[in-house]
Structure 1
Amino acid sequence: MRRLNKKKALSLVRDLDAFPKVPESYVETTASGGTVSLVAFAFMAGLAFLEFFVYRDTWMKYEYEVDTDFSSKLRLNIDITVAMRCQFVGADVLDLAETMVASDGLIYEPVHFELSPQQRLWHMTLLHIQERLREEHSLQDIFFKTALKGAPTALPPREDSPIEPPAACRIHGHLYINKVAGNFHITVGKAIPHPRGHAHLAALVSHDTYNFSHRIDHLSFGDEIPGIINPLDGTEKVSADHNHMFQYFITIVPTKLNTYQITADTHQYSVTERERVINHAAGSHGVSGIFMKYDINSLMVRVTEQHMPLWQFLVRLCGIVGGIFSTTGMIHGLVGSLVDVLCCHFQVGVYSLRKEGGLEEQASNDVLLPTGNHSDRQESLQLAS
């Protein structure tokens, strides 16, 4: 009884076979079919090889959400060189809450404003990268992926020692500011606290020494990540006038970066530049200096590096193999049918050989009657019958 049930089960499974086996004696192989098979296998191998590289690659996924963290401090990273002596300039931050941020984290270092040949080459390379970033926005994804692997954007040290004393000031370091709109500025004189804000001791500085030509080697918000290039990195402004105001209007977007290399809370920003000469007689009022007015966006961007799952890679491989196999089979059958129709219509190739063979066979089957009079031919027909 068990054997009968087993045989029935095997018979049922055999009937459900979706891949019937055809005896080799029923299969006819052709040169065209072999050629199409080789081409199909080559396409399969090439596409599978390329698909493997797609599987190895990663991409960045951008998600947007509301930033609900308003109480924490925001780190401001600064590295700016101004073409004035350090005792003549002062840098500080004043936000909309009328809070003056202490600038104790900033370092004033006397340097030379003109770059050495190696530094100039580095600066030109950075400007070229910035130009490509404005045209190819997808390059930012590469910087996110290779964070901590790339070199920092800070200017390399000088390889020479100039004889002249330094006449510029490098202001670098970091400050912790409130998450509200504010103004970071560098102007004449050191800042002093004031009940209604703050003031700068500009009266002690001679007007002829004003020169706010500057170079921004680095300016970022949040965690400082080596290899990430910000929009203002490498910016250089040279002014021929003493009374010159440079303004940068910055919009900050909080960004949570989560890649296979790093997890950090950083901030991207966009910037709009404006500059003008201060001339009170012409109606252009203001204070000479460098002003960076920033505002923080309420939306936060979450950037996550993603990878293709293994099951999706296998499904895509099956689709490539099955699709090419089926498509080449249909194309081969269609082309073969068209060739058969054309050859049959014009009686060329194997069809002409078949026609000649048929005529010869018909001629061999015909009965040749002997020559003679009518009675002899009639007698011969009777004998033949």
Structure 2
Amino acid sequence: MTVTTTTLNGTSDQYLTLRGEEPKIKKIPSYESAKLVDPFNYVGETFGDGPGEDYPWADFLPHNPVRTHSEPPLELQNITDRGHFADPGHSRLRAWVKSSGGTIKDLGICVGTVIHGVKMEEMGPEERDDLALLIAQRGVVFFRKQHDLTIDQQRALGAYFGPLHKHPTYATPRRGDLDDVVVVYSDENSRPDLYAFSRAELFHSDVTYELQPPGATILRLLVTPEVGNDTLWSSGYNVYSSLSRPYQRYLESLSAIHTGYNQAASRSAEGHRIPLRAPIETVHPVVRVHPVTGLKSVFVNPGFVTRIVGVPKAESDATLAFLKDSFAQQTDATVRWRWEAGDVACWDNRIVNHSATFDAYPSLRHGLRVTPHAEKPLSVEEYEAAYGKPAKDWIKERLISLGIEGPAADDGKTKKGGFRD
């Protein structure tokens, strides 16, 4: 039997392969006997025996302890975004990368930047401040080959950006002292149910039902398939910019309900009856403004948003469906990352939605996510009142930086067809 080679510590390794040699783990179960999971609700669960006793990351395998009671609901916390202390041109970060022999390169016009040749654990406070701004501007920043980054160093970086979130329902590492770490895990015992979701529905922002949803989130993959299970990030800045001004104004007037009940129910179905915190619902603006960049971003996702407040159901459903599809369809503002073991992705949950591809079954995928809280989402009106300046549109700011004007206004006349029609 041959399966996809799994990458460990940056090299192709036979640890999880069956190529006629003596296998180091049990054989992969049949396609039918594997646990069928809905990727829409699944992040990190061990079904079966896991990857074996000699697995090097055994301390970080998922664990969901039995609880006798839930903790109290979260209260609002004072948060100051570190991006406010950054150099506008990220000069400290760029100088550090250059002095380390590394490079910084944008992957798309609107979203995605990759940094090569540095060790994240060596970043000082000034470089971290500049990184916070870069993440806020670019949506997601990737670091290759972070093999020496420990989970405690990853947590320290996350805590620098904001108080670390403890997930109310998802598994944490078996090590037992990492309640603020989420385990991202799938293996040969968890088979994605490809009929359970549409691809557009998988684009989401993490735990947006919280009073203060996450900001600059940090995910490091310990083990990843050699091919497949990529992750895509799609820009809420660009979704907003793609809309007409009347529709922008309409969305700016709206709020939506973000619920944690569906996610809690998926955990209860696996026998975890008492969550860390009871599920909640929270109302957030449909368009929020990033406090550092001042840019407007559409802030809805099909994972947690159930309806728009104060409008008829048909109108709410149609609006949410349109925005959901907008995130999934904007090829000009989506970046796709092909993971290697040791890679780190730092993304801003306030301004991007993301989705994994779930296409590499039965390969092993194992990562650790650290998730800092950010501010309570600010509507356009709230931002402009608090900061005393108008919020901005990403495409208008880009056109200004290029010294060009936007497209001409529609004159209302019939457009002549061309050979592409």
Q: Normalization by structure 2: what TM-score?
A: 0.23
- Pick the structure with more strand per residue: 1
Find the structure with the greater CA-based Rg: 1
Bigger RCO (CA 8 Å, 6+ sep) = 2
- Pick the structure with more helix per residue: 1
